[in-house]
Amino acid sequence: MESSLHQFFEAPGQGDSVVNESRSRKNSLIDAKFCKEHHDAHKLTVNNAEGESNQFQPRPPLLPRLSKFSKSKSIEKVVRIRKLRNSQESLSDPAETGSSTDSLKEDQTIPGPGEFDFSDPSTVRKQDFNVRPLSAATSGSPVFPDRGRSFSDDERRPHSQQSDPTDLRMASTKVRLSPLLPTGPLPALEKTFVSAPLRTANRIDKDCLDYTVLSREKRTERLHRNLSDSRLLEKMGSDSTSVNSLRSNCSMLSPIRPQDVRNRSFLEGSVMGSGALLGAEELDRYFPDRRLSIYIATWNMQGEKGLPANLDDLLLPTDSEFAQDFYVIGVQEGCPDRREWEVRLQETLGPYYVMLYSASHGVLYLTVFVRRDLIWFCSEVEHATVTTRIISQIKTKGAVGIAFTLFGTSFLFITSHFTSGDAKVYERILDYNKIIEALALPKGLPDTNPYRSTASDVTTRFDQVFWFGDFNFRLNKDRVDVQNIMNCTVGNDMSRLMEHDQLSKEMKEGSIFKGFQEAPIHFFPTYKFDIGCDIYDTTSKQRTPSYTDRILFRNRQVGDIKVVKYTSCSSIKTSDHRPVICVFRVKLRPGRDTIPLGAGFFDRGLYLEGIRRRITRELKMREAAKNQSNSAICTIS
């Protein structure tokens, strides 16, 4: 053994010759096979390009024979490139990105040159270009737009620009399973990052938008969120989708957090203006401009039992664009059935309004209706009465007052009937003084500004005061002269008549209605008419037409009350007086939770009866219209 090893190391030339001889034989076989494959492939390419019609065309010379070292290097390089492409093909192949079937793919290289049947060119082309079959993903699906191509771009090139088939030995591909796709085309994606299910879940009505959207659309309106909504939006930042979905799923109102419900009792809560139920945030939410609309009507009914068939002209005139927030109706010499009168008022105003309070003093009736949305912000209602007759049992002359607080503004409404007679001005002044001293209001309501109140005048204890009724002040002029002035009046200028008005004169002198104001009068006198017509008194007394029915107002702050309309209702002619109406815009201020709330109390029985009558009236009108349309006249010839 040692001798043989020694012989081997001692004669290196012999060992090298054996190794070199084995290598040369192996390389010669590889070279021969490689040259044959190259020659056949080149022949196939030429035949494919020229259509095998020119078989006798001169052919280019074969490639020069490579040396042993270069051939071995090229083979190792091909193997190395093939391994590298197989390991990184899934990352470099753009057709694989986004596929959900990558784990099911299998590597399958193109068969070697010995596996091709070069005698049949169709077989070569089939194996060459159809190795990767086209799946549903390569058919132009909108979900996989990048897969609309085959394995190689050579198929889209002309034959002259196609690559050599021998280069396919260094390329590899993978067999892919077709992804599971719907049979029909998918809908186009919208330009939003929110998915369709999320958009469906958070869909809201157009009428229920966020406050920020409304403020952009209506820049003149100052809409503010309440305390709960503002805190919620501050924590959520710009993500308002959850707030919108919460508002749409629960209600159209702003969501209230449980913490706010725990901290606020709504009756004895915060004494500060901010955070209270009657505070600034809640006030701005319902009244962005902090203005309340009030509709006041006064009417001497002359004690008639028969009420007008329709009170729409009295409460809902056609020249008004919108209904008002409050309706206050004062009646003197009212009908004997007070309950019937209130039911008729509820029937006319309909289900949008509820009767907040009603008080009476003999035949003096005072009724307050409010929008049912605002009833929760009203305090407890108080009333008081005063008689101006010497004999207190006769309750035809006197006054009725109703007081309450809305948010932080206190209101007082007074309807009265003063002494009648053309020359009894002094008696009417006495009636006024007695009323302001004896009307015991407020009782339990807190005074919003006690430093400006006086004990001798009830009108100084409230922020907004409205006094209306039959004051019985006349025109100091003969009937003939008054009639001539009326005939010469052009348009609505009643200044010549107001020069002889007793009430205007006494107010200027300061003997009555101190601090009160009245809007300019642009209507004819409302007293005294013959019943059922527009002719003034034709009886033997021949009373002078006068402005006996008036509406006055007083406020603590200048400019808090603005008059929108001041006129008379000439269409109601069941009395010798014409009703007088006035529409106001009143300033509101925030309040505190120390104000005793009315807790939404109203006359439920009156409400139901009025709505029942309203429905019955509408059904009768429909039935009458139906009978009239179906009626026919038959004649006998």
Please tell me the distance from the alpha carbon of residue 124 to that of residue 116, in angstroms, as a whole number. Answer: 7
* First CA to last CA distance, the chain: 154
Please tell me the distance from the alpha carbon of residue 75 to that of residue 30, in angstroms, as a whole number. Answer: 10
Q: Does the reported pTM lie above 0.85? A: no
Residue-range domain boundaries for the chain: 280-602
Q: Which residues of 496-523 are buried (b: 16+ CB within 10 A; e: fewer)?
A: ebbebbbbbbbbeeeebbeebebbebee
pLDDT tens digits, one per residue of 242-255: 444 444 455 566 67
Which pLDDT does position 600 carry in this prediction? 87
Which pLDDT does position 450 carry in this prediction? 86
- Tell me if the domain spanning 280-602 has CATH number 3.40.630.30: no
Residue type, 407: F
Q: Which residue has the tokens 């190795």?
A: 131
**pLDDT over 70, % of the chain:** 56
Average pLDDT of span 393-421:
92
Question: Closest Cα partner for 545 from 510, 508, 577?
Answer: 577
Chain mean pLDDT for the chain:
74
Q: Is pLDDT at 104 greater than 50 in this prediction?
A: no
Residue 98 pLDDT grade (very low, low, confident, very high; cuts 50, 70, 90): very low
Residue 563 pLDDT grade (very low, low, confident, very high; cuts 50, 70, 90): very high
Which is more confidently placed, 338 or 129? 338
Q: Which of 119-133, 181-195, 242-256, 260-274 has the lowest mean pLDDT?
A: 119-133
Which pLDDT does position 169 carry in this prediction? 47
Q: Is pLDDT at 583 greater than 70 in this prediction?
A: yes
pLDDT tens digits, one per residue of 16-61: 444 455 555 555 555 555 555 555 555 545 454 444 444 555 666 5
Residue 137 pLDDT grade (very low, low, confident, very high; cuts 50, 70, 90): very low
238: its two tokens: 């710009």
Please tell me the distance from the alpha carbon of residue 463 to that of residue 562, in angstroms, as a whole number. Answer: 14
440: its two tokens: 């015991």
Q: Which of 32-41, 140-149, 445-454, 487-496 has the lowest mean pLDDT?
A: 140-149
